[in-house]
Amino acid sequence: MNQRTGDTVYCNQLALDIEIGFHEVERGVQQTVLVDLELTTNFGRGPASDNFAGLVDYYVIANHLTAHVAGRRYALIEALAVDLAREIVKLHPEVTAKVRIVKQPLDMPRVRSVAVECVRTAADFAAEPR
């Protein structure tokens, strides 16, 4: 299936509370990061005719990602972005997942936020053990 169909599911500003950061001030501190998801898919299999077949369910994805990060610690927001993309394509191998992470750095009071973004498909994780 061609993933460049132009059909996209968005889920914006999913708030995840996690321990993240590698500077001393961030260690052991729960922080809220905001996650934006852009999932390229194909509505033709079902959603275009109001059918659930082939649906990329943002409710299921948001709940899955929230549960996935619970109790985990990440040093880098880049690692979090890739991990979330991996989880999305495990649920929906047919999508292209763009994941954007935004956080307010605790040790940089003059910076409102920092962000990273990654784009992954199932092929990007094919060599990883299951």
Show the low-confidence residues of the chain (pLDDT under 70). 1-5, 51, 130
Find the DSSP H helices in 1-130.
58-69, 77-91
pLDDT of residue 129: 79
pLDDT of residue 1: 42
The radius of gyration computed from the CA coordinates of the chain, to the nearest angstrom, equals: 16
Domain boundaries, the chain: 7-125
Tell me which CATH code domain 7-125 carries: 3.30.1130.10
